[in-house]
C-alpha cells in the first residue's frame, strides 16, 4: 500500500495559464475525491468519482475546472485560465465505497 | 449540506496537559473521521468513528450519533501534537465529506 500519490507537489503559474494535476489513488479504492483548501479553512469538496463515473460536483467547480478519471484508476484535475483566487492546496483522497477517506500530500498551486 | 462546527478554534497547551476537542454536526451521518493536519499540509487519519468510542495510544474519540457530536481527547500532550485537527462527516446519501474549520492546537515545551 503506497498511499495516495499526487503530482506535482508544488506548482507556480502565471495568471491565465492552464495547469493540470494528477492523483493516483490507493490501488483497490473505487472512489476518488478532489478537495481544495485555502489558508485557515477546512478542505472544501470539489468532486468525486466512483470508478470512472463522476457522481458529484460542487458548485465551486466552475466551468474553468474539469476532472477526469478515464479508466477508473488515476485522475486529473485541470484548471483553465487560472486566476489568483485559484491559489490553494488541492487535495486528492480515495476510499473503498463508504470506508474512510485517505488523503494524499496535496498539490500547492500559486498563481502569480 | 451538513454543517460541522468545531470548538475551540484555537487551543494552547503546555506539554503534558490533557485536552478535549469537540465536533457538532447538523444531520445524521454514516461516516465521521478525525484528521490531524501537519505543518506540511498532510491530512493524517486519526479515527474513523461514526459511533462509539475508540482509543489509539494517547488519543481517544467518542461519537454520540443520536446527539450529533463527537469528542477527541488528547492526553499527556506533546509538542508533536501541534497542528490543526479536523472533524469531517458524511451524510447517509452523499459521497462527500463535510469538514469543519478545524481546531488549531499549539503545544509548548
A66-101 pLDDT per residue, tens: 999 998 899 999 999 999 999 999 999 999 987 899
Partner A contacted by B41 (CB < 8 A): yes
CA–CA min distance A32, chain B (Å): 10
Question: Residue A36's closest CA among A111, A90, A110?
Answer: A90
pLDDT score at B91: 86
Q: What is the mean pLDDT of each run of 10 residues along chain B (109 residues)?
A: 95 97 95 93 94 97 97 97 96 84 96
Q: Does a cis peptide bond (omega within 30 degrees of 0) precede residue B78?
A: no
Question: Residue B78's closest CA among B109, B102, B103?
Answer: B109
Is A1 a residue whose pLDDT tops 80? no
pLDDT score at B10: 97
Residues of chain A positioned with their CB less than 8 A from the CB of B42 = 103, 105-106
Q: What is the mean pLDDT of residues A39-52?
A: 93
- Chain A interface disruption, residue of B5, B36, B96, most A CBs within 10 A: B96
Residue whose C-alpha cell is 468519482: A49
- Residue contact B42–A48, C-beta within 8 A: no
Task: Give the integer Cα–Cα distance in Å for A16 and A13.
Answer: 9
pLDDT score at A77: 98
CA distances from A77 to A24, A33, B81 (A): 12, 11, 32
Helix/strand/coil for A85: helix
Is A108 a residue whose pLDDT tops 70? yes
pLDDT score at B39: 84
The percent of residues above 90 in pLDDT, for chain A, comes to 83
Helix/strand/coil for A5: strand
Question: Residue B80's closest CA among B42, B22, B36?
Answer: B36
Q: Does a cis peptide bond (omega within 30 degrees of 0) precede residue A26?
A: no
pLDDT score at B94: 66
Amino acid at each position: 500500500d503506497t498511499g495516495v500519490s499526487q503530482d506535482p507537489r508544488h506548482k507556480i503559474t502565471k495568471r491565465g495559464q492552464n495547469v493540470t494535476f494528477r492523483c493516483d489513488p490507493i490501488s483497490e479504492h473505487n472512489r476518488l475525491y478532489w478537495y481544495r483548501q485555502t489558508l485557515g479553512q477546512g478542505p472544501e469538496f470539489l468532486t468525486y468519482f466512483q470508478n470512472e463515473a463522476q457522481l458529484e460536483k460542487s458548485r465551486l467547480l466552475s466551468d474553468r475546472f474539469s476532472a477526469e478519471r478515464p479508466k477508473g484508476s488515476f485522475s486529473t484535475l485541470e484548471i483553465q485560465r487560472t486566476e489568483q483566487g485559484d491559489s490553494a492546496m488541492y487535495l486528492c483522497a480515495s476510499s473503498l465505497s463508504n470506508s474512510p477517506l485517505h488523503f494524499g500530500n496535496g498539490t500547492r498551486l500559486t498563481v502569480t | 449540506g451538513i454543517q460541522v462546527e468545531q470548538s475551540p478554534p484555537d487551543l494552547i497547551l503546555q506539554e503534558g496537559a490533557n485536552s478535549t476537542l469537540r465536533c457538532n454536526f447538523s444531520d445524521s451521518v454514516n461516516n465521521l473521521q478525525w484528521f490531524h493536519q501537519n505543518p506540511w499540509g498532510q491530512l493524517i487519519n486519526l479515527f474513523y468513528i461514526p459511533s462509539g468510542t475508540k482509543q489509539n495510544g494517547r488519543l481517544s474519540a467518542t461519537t454520540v450519533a443520536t446527539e450529533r457530536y463527537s469528542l477527541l481527547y488528547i492526553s499527556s500532550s506533546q509538542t508533536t501534537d501541534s497542528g490543526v485537527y479536523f472533524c469531517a462527516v458524511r451524510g447517509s446519501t452523499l459521497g462527500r465529506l463535510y469538514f469543519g474549520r478545524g481546531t488549531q492546537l499549539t503545544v509548548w515545551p
